[in-house]
Structure formats: structure tokens, C-alpha cells
Chain A
Amino acid sequence: MSHVRIPPVLRASAGGNKVVDIEAATVGEALRALATQYPGLQQQLWGEDGTLNRFVNVYLNDQDIRYLAELETPVTLNDTIVVLPAMAGGAAP
């Protein structure tokens, strides 16, 4: 099982979970399975053309998958996938 870390902004769409464990061979497979399990995440993660939204960055452990094999990046047992959408959240106003 690899662990997908759900960012705070998306937790409401993921049953309130902080981490979701998923059996998958690649990062893309894991994120598609995640959106299947929690349909509320579909629009947040995936564009209509089936590509990952550009305002969402995905890291395998601490590395951006854009600089690995993107969605084809293989995942192994106990890897952590970090999903990180751009956050507006400053603190003003």
C-alpha cells in the first residue's frame, strides 16, 4: 500500500481523511483510484481531458513527479504521494 497524503483543502472531499492508503503501481493509477473512491476529488485533481490539473502538484516522497516519470512514476510499498494544490491562504484580511 502506498500512502496518499490529502492536503487540508481537499480533505472535505476525501471523507475527512488526511491519508488514504491505496494499492497502485504508478502515481497516476493511485490518483485515479483516489478519485474513483472519492468522486468529489475528480474535478479537483483531473481536467476534462484526463490530465492532472496544473494547479495541483504531486510529489513522490519529496520529489516533484514532473521531474520523475510524471504520472507513470512507479510507486512502491510505503511510498508517500503528496498532493499539493496551490493555496491562496495568506492570513489577511
Chain B
Amino acid sequence: MPKSYADILREVRGQIREVTPTQVAPLVADRGLADPSAPLFVDVRERYEWEEGHIPGAVHVPRGHLEAQVEFAVPDRARPLIVYCAGGWRSALAAKVLGEMGYTDVVNMEGGFQVWKSAGLPWVKPTVLSADQKRRYSRHLLIPEVGLEGQSRLLGSKVLLIGAGGLGSPAALYLAAAGVGTIGIVDFDVVDESNLQRQVVHTTDRIGVKKTESAAASIRALNPDVRVVGHDEMLTEENVERLIADYDVILDGTDTFETRYTLNDAAVGLGKTVIHASVFRFEGQLTVFTPFEGPCYRCLYPTPPPPELAPGCSVAGVLGVVPGIMGLLQANEVLKVLLGIGDTLAGRLLIFDALDGTFRELRLRRDPACPTCGETATAAREAAATPAAVPAVEAAAGVDR
């Protein structure tokens, strides 16, 4: 006997579990994919509906492509899924199919996004990529962990490169290619012929040009989406906080201990993640300093070596590809931090040996007595921040001083 749409729906709703928007609203996560055990909202509407607004952290798998795409979007069949569409009908059918595909914990959200929105529950409007951007970033859009949401996040992100040298050059090019929306570059130097053996963001015809300008020219030629902010100055204790304050992540490609300590101390104070690398001849080191989650640079090395015991690249030399490889590994860490995916190298030091072709990993720990991020230093910083608040409170209370 032929079945009507109403018959099918009635039958399906008898076979699935359903919840209301207000029941599942507390499960909204800022970033659904970041926590693999958290319930995940699956939006099965068409693309034009998704682009008008969706539940934060949801993944988008249109009903028409559900069977073909869901295994890529949600590989874990045991993950709790909350399926929704505009009114709850398409998602009912989707929930049934997901059950048949072996997803074990699937519920349909009754009333769909319409009821969700009219109940005043949180929703976001995704950044809509232009047709050009969809083509340019298509290989990112195909990866579920990046996708439209991740790409939008990258386009809205700000990364600061300290130095447009051997490490900063490859990082600048690949971060620009990846569509990181704002790239700041701190460098006061000009392009020298001896830089070109490894600093691939610069070109022969720009010898003598400021590195910030030279890097900006290459970045713009590669990706006009990227806004380049040149900071044509040396990073010092006086300007470091101003320079780093507006950025999400800092990529440290400097070559002096003084700059590394200055950057470290300010970054810990402002809670900024620093992606750290250094190179020497055939070897490179890499780690991520995430304030208070892992160690900071001072936890590792409370004091710098005397200058005579610490030759830099200009004295010792470096195989050009080594900063290339390490700079790209830095860019990889930047992208993971911005996208909130994977495990960063916080608490791990990666050592690359180009001659052996090996990577070695060492465990790093926070030093509880660290003068920058240890308990005493943190308490002192907080205490120093408090007195400023007292006059403000008094002013608000109308205290006449």
C-alpha cells in the first residue's frame, strides 16, 4: 500500500528519540568538534539556510548528502548527535538514517531551528565566503576539521611574526596561503643578499628594501585576502605589549636572547601563545609556550648564556632548508591553535636533525618557581593590577580624594 509523506513521518517519529530545543540548549559548545566526547549538533538543512544562521559549533551535512558525507564529518559513531533542520521533519528522516548507519546515540530536535531561534537561544551567522574564496580554500573546506567554519575563523585571525627571516619567511607564505586574515610583521631590517639562501619571502630585486615591505609584497601577490601590518621597529621592553596586544598568536622567529625573554615575559602577562623555534646549522628546535598551561621560555632557561657561549646563525651558518622546515612546523602549530584542533607542542620540545633525518621529542615542564609564570610571579602581577581598580571603584562611588 502506498504511503503518504504524513504516513512516513508518523512511522519514522515512532522509531526515533526526540528532544526540544530548550532541553538541549545547555549542550551548545563554542566549538563542537574540539571536544570529541561532547554532543554534536548536526544541521541537515540546505547551504543557503545554514548561511542564514545556525547553532554554534554545529556541523553542516545537508540531508541530500547525508549518507555520503556524514562518515567524514562525524567518524565516531558512538558520539551523541542532535540532528536538526528548519522545522524538525527533514531531521527526523535524517535521524532514522543515522540510526541505520550505526550511529548509536541520535536524537531529533523537535521544531528545528525555527523554534530554537524564536526561543531566543544562541545562534551564529557564518561568514559567507565569496565564490573566489570557495575556490581558493576548497582543499581546506573539504577537511571536516577546518571546513567553512574553520576557514572563516582563519580569515578573522591575527598572527604576529616576530622577524621576517628564515623562520618567518616560510611561515608568512603558508599562513597567507591558508587565509590567515591579518599577518603582522615585526622587523626593522632590510633585505640583504645573504638572506636569500633561506628567507624565501624576499626576492633578489628587493635587496635593500625594508623586510616588512618586501614580505608584504610577496604576501599580497600570493593572497589578496590577507591584510599585512608592518611594524618596522625593533621589539623592545617599551613597545612589546603594544605590538602583541592585538594578535591571537605570536610566532617567534627572532635570533637574540634579549628579544626572546622580552617577548616571553610580555606574552605570559597578556596570556598570548608563542610558537617558538630556533635553528643552528643542521638542527632546529620547536615548542609552543601556552601561558599557564605549559612551561614558558624562562621555565626552561631562567638565564641566557653569556654572549661568547652563544653564537647565532650569522656566525655559525645554517642549512637553508632547516629554518624552512622549522618555520613551517611553526605555521602548523599556529593553524592548530587558531582552529582549536589537534595537540600542540606545549610541554614538548621537538628537535629536528637534518643530517640524520630524525625528530626527537623531549618533555618540558612548568617550573613552579619560574620568575615569570610561577605562582609567586603570578600573584605579584595580580597584586600589581589591583591598586588601579581601587580608585576606579572610589570614583564610581563618588569618593572625593
Contacts and interface: CB of A to CB of B under 8 A. Distances in A.
Contacts of A91: 163, 165-169, 198-199, 253, 255, 279, 313, 318, 323, 327
Nearest to A10: B309
A54 B371 CA distance: 14
A62 B351 CA distance: 11
B281 interface: yes
Interface size bracket, B side = 35 or more
Interface string B307-322: 0011111101010000
B163 A90 contact: yes
Interface string A38-68: 0000011000000001111101001110110
B279 A90 contact: yes
B350 to A, nearest CB: 11
Nearest to B310: A88
Interface in B297-334: 300-305, 309-314, 316, 318, 323, 327
Interface in A52-93: 53-57, 59, 62-64, 66-67, 82, 84-93
A59 B362 contact: yes
Contacts of B282: 8
A82 B313 contact: no
Nearest to A67: B365
Nearest to A86: B301
A33 interface: no
Most interface-central of A55, A91, A92 (chain B CB within 10 A): A91
B364 interface: yes
**Residue of B167, B169, B304, B310 with highest tally of chain A CB at under 10 A:** B310
Contacts of B364: 64
B260 interface: yes
Nearest to B300: A57
A9 B277 CA distance: 16
Contacts of A67: 365
A92 B363 contact: no
Given A91-B168, A92-B163, A54 B314 contact: no
Nearest to B303: A54
A54 to B, nearest CB: 5
Contact of B305 (A53, A62, A66, A82): A53
B127 interface: no
Interface stretch (B65-73, B93-101, B134-142, B187-195): B187-195
Nearest to A85: B305
Given A91-B165, A93-B195, A55 B252 contact: no
A87 B165 contact: no
A57 B282 CA distance: 20
B10 to A, nearest CB: 61
Contact of A87 (B189, B310, B327): B310
A55 to B, nearest CB: 4
Given A8-B281, A86-B310, A88-B310, A64 B362 contact: yes
Residue from the set A7, A59, A62, A93 with the largest chain B CB neighbour count within 10 Å = A93
B257 interface: yes
Contacts of B303: 54-55
Given A90-B163, A91-B313, A63 B363 contact: yes
Contacts of A88: 255-257, 260, 278, 304, 310-312
Contacts of B260: 88
B318 A87 contact: no
Interface string B184-219: 000101001001001100000000000100000000
B230 to A, nearest CB: 14
B283 A90 contact: no
Given A62-B363, A92-B253, A93-B189, A87 B280 contact: yes
Contacts of A90: 163, 165-167, 252-256, 277-279, 312-313
B361 interface: yes
A57 B299 CA distance: 11
B362 A84 contact: yes
Contacts of A66: 365, 367
Given A55-B303, A90-B312, 7 more contacts: A55-B310, A63-B362, A88-B256, A89-B316, A90-B163, A91-B279, A92-B253
Interface of B: 163-169, 187, 189, 192, 195, 198-199, 211, 252-257, 260, 277-283, 285, 300-305, 309-314, 316, 318, 323, 327, 349, 351, 360-365, 367
14 contacts: A54-B301, A54-B303, A55-B303, A55-B304, A59-B362, A63-B362, A85-B310, A87-B285, A88-B304, A90-B254, A92-B167, A92-B168, A92-B189, A92-B199
